[in-house]
Structure 1
């Protein structure tokens, strides 16, 4: 048995990784809360994962909670990397298994990024910064390259494609294939399914808006038109019936967070 397989099957790593998924869910619940505040007029909120961590840090026990979250998010990232290396053996088709493993790598990168931010905030060594500003800086650097517009445009198409896949995953309820539903409390499967459907669709909608903003930035060669999660949510709020739409998406993001709590228990290993 390979070292990666042994690590993936380690009870300790399984427990830590699943606890980390709960931390990942907490961040999404808080993003949903911040998005609701934006929907009801508080445009000063940074409605993204970094804003959620700053919200946690502002509480009385904030720094202690941030340390716990940071460690948990690192554990979640490690678990995702192990799944990327040796997981998803229950998926019969090789191409789908490869896509799922790529998705695990992406989630690991997100987990590491959020873990680093949480630790920096907890230790007081730096602020979370603006996700929108980072996105604009990255876009500006790429646009400055000779084929910059094409690269940013290609990135926009990839992001939109991933967004469509997330919406499809929610509509088709295919996320249930990754769960041992028998491990869920009796009678809870219906609610877990509903939470997953709402969560994946909401994440897909938001990611799709991010992709559209990226595409507009490429089209106009203007990095200022790009943006991250916060910009996507605030762009949604500015549309006709935007408040209603943002409330629905915010509840969906929070639903995904709660879904993560159940998935932490029932996800196949």
Structure 2
């Protein structure tokens, strides 16, 4: 009997330890995501006001961070944080996410896709930290290169069109969920003061809507590239953001979107603090 009790206690302790590691990885990853969005938003604001010299994408954000005091340390910390994000999503794919629906196949498939995405992002950040060379090129060039390769494949236009449409749907979904405040389901709202909850809602709604808009517009450009069979019509994050300044509203629309990305960065920090994992 004592042996069984000890065994159960050992398993419970192992689960608690594993939970602590997963939680730490998740919070580090959300913090790293916040840093990237914050920097991209600031770079986009600089472009809107006419003094932006860097690409408003992940590469530009990393270059900006590298120029800061202790830049190398910050880059490695960012990369390790993103590794944590990938491991957290892997854990969700294997064992299920927090919440009553966390073990459903749909949730696990989504977690798998997120794991793959953040694995790539973490690899690119760590590669940059090791070499200080953004050898992968800008997001714009990467988008054009990938689109060109896909268009050359059998049924390439359909593949690019489907991918672009999927990105549009994802972007619209992001925006709608943000406006409806669906993120409340993932937060420890009871531990927040009223002032903090208001701040989280401002950053969550504004930031999530801006992020969703950027994704949807980038997806629309991919669909156009597929229809016209012209890879150069596909746009990465930097070109997509610059497009907002070319509308009748001028640079002010870019200012609003860029400010929204800054808000999403702040929201990611709030998620790192109060998200249920």
Scaled by the length of structure 1, the TM-score of the pair is: 0.90
CA separation of 1:8/1:75 partners in 2, compared to 1, >3 Å: closer, same or farther?
farther
* Equivalence for 1:200: 208
State yes or no: 1:36 paired with 2:45.
yes
Structure 1 stretches lacking a partner, 5+ long: none
Q: Partners in 2 of 1:203 and 1:102 — Cα distance?
A: 22
- Please give the residue correspondences for 1:6-25 in structure 2 after superposition, counting only pairs within 5 Å: 6=15, 9-25=18-34
CA separation of 1:186/1:133 partners in 2, compared to 1, >3 Å: closer, same or farther?
same
CA separation of 1:42/1:99 partners in 2, compared to 1, >3 Å: closer, same or farther?
farther
Could you tell me how far 1:147 is from its partner in structure 2?
Answer: 0.8
* Equivalence for 1:182: 190
* Equivalence for 1:118: 125
Q: Which moved more, 1:22-31 or 1:36-45?
A: 36-45
How many aligned residue pairs are there?
265
Could you tell me how far 1:43 is from its partner in structure 2?
Answer: 5.5
* Equivalence for 1:248: 256
Q: Partners in 2 of 1:42 and 1:105 — Cα distance?
A: 39
Could you tell me how far 1:146 is from its partner in structure 2?
Answer: 2.6
State yes or no: 1:56 paired with 2:34.
no
* Equivalence for 1:77: 86
Could you tell me how far 1:42 is from its partner in structure 2?
Answer: 3.6
Q: Partners in 2 of 1:160 and 1:104 — Cα distance?
A: 19
Match of 1:241, SS state, is coil
CA separation of 1:186/1:36 partners in 2, compared to 1, >3 Å: closer, same or farther?
same
CA separation of 1:125/1:37 partners in 2, compared to 1, >3 Å: closer, same or farther?
closer
Match of 2:89, SS state, is helix
CA separation of 1:42/1:101 partners in 2, compared to 1, >3 Å: closer, same or farther?
farther
| C-alpha distance after superposition, 1:173-209 (max 9, x if no partner) | 1111111212335631111011111111011100011
Q: Please tell me whether the aligned partners of residues 77 and 111 of structure 1 are also in contact (alpha carbons under 8 angstroms).
A: yes
Could you tell me how far 1:45 is from its partner in structure 2?
Answer: 2.1
* Equivalence for 1:136: 144
CA separation of 1:13/1:35 partners in 2, compared to 1, >3 Å: closer, same or farther?
same
Q: Partners in 1 of 2:173 and 2:223 — Cα distance?
A: 18
* Equivalence for 1:169: 177
CA separation of 1:190/1:44 partners in 2, compared to 1, >3 Å: closer, same or farther?
same
Q: Partners in 2 of 1:216 and 1:120 — Cα distance?
A: 32
CA separation of 1:87/1:190 partners in 2, compared to 1, >3 Å: closer, same or farther?
farther
